[in-house]
Chains A and B, each alone.
Chain A
Amino acid sequence: SQTIHQWPATLVQPVGSPLSLECTVEGTSNPNLYWYRQAAGRGLQLLFYSVGIGQISSEVPQNLSASRPQDRQFILSSKKLLLSDSGFYLCAWSVLGDTQYFGPGTRLTVL
């Protein structure tokens, strides 16, 4: 069966510091991978998605970037965090853009 992992689970970072969040999927090949951000009490904002290694589509221009160095690995990065980057970051996978399955999420607080 398929499993999706995210780490870290929680993170507290100062403004201006770098960020690296990692997502890995097990049990499937060539999945679509997604990064979402959810502000407190808000909806799901799609940040990036990838249909293959090295292929990244950006949905919202912002302070973040994504990379997919391996088939089942998706990384979200920032060079300098802003206060507005705080939120719940969710990774998801799907096959052919159909049903998406979410990871456990990373709760990021920028101080």
Chain B
Amino acid sequence: GENVEQHPSTLSVQEGDSAVIKCTYSDSASNYFPWYKQELGKRPQLIIDIRSNVGEKKDQRIAVTLNKTAKHFSLHITETQPEDSAVYFCAASLQGAQKLVFGQGTRLTINP
């Protein structure tokens, strides 16, 4: 079945710098790749997603890129702010599988 690997497990950056989180997936049939942000004690919330027919998608300070050939996708956060501190999860959806496979999560800390 599908397997998603996420790196790094922890990331610390200075406020205002950029942060990048990377995920690789195993099944080339996967065609949907969402990213979730989970603040401490809260539910995961969708922040951006990308489908396999698109290479890049942006929403203000966040962007996601997808490389289907290499089977990896990345989350980019620019001009980081303290409120970006959270755990971020990537996921991949295998076409027709009716479920998401999640990465292990990245704890992002923004240092003021």
A contact set with B: CB distance below 8 Å: 32, 34, 42-44, 46, 49, 51, 90, 96-105
Show 14 residue pairs from A and B whose CB-CB distance is below 8 angstroms, ordered by the A residue. Answer: A32-B98, A32-B99, A42-B105, A43-B104, A49-B98, A49-B99, A90-B43, A90-B44, A97-B98, A98-B32, A99-B34, A99-B46, A99-B49, A100-B34
Q: Across the interface, do B103 and A43 meet the contact criterion of CB distance under 8 Å?
A: yes
A43, A96, A99, A103: the one contacting B89 at CB < 8 Å is: A43
**Do B102 and A44 touch (CB < 8 A)?**
yes
**Secondary structure class of chain A's binding surface, majority of residues:** loop
B56-112 interface (Cβ within 8 A of A): 89, 93, 96-100, 102-105
Cα(A2)–Cα(B32), bound, Å? 21
Report A61 CB to chain B, min CB distance, Å. Answer: 16
Cβ B93 vs Cβ A98 within 8 A: yes
Contacting residues, chain A, for B105 (C-beta < 8 A): 42-44
Contact B43 A34 (CB under 8 A): no
Interface centre among A44, A49, A90, A96 (most CB of B within 10 A): A44
Complexed CA–CA distance, A34 and B43 (Å): 14
Chain A residues with Cβ below 8 Å from B32 are 98-99
Most chain B beta carbons < 10 A, residue from A49, A102, A104: A102
Considering only CB atoms, which chain B residue lies closest to A102 in the complex? B43
In the complex, are the beta carbons of B43 and A97 less than 8 A apart? no
> A46, B99: Cβ atoms under 8 Å?
yes
Contact A96 to B104, CB < 8 A, known contacts A90-B43, A104-B43? no
Alpha-carbon gap, A46 to B89, bound state (A): 14
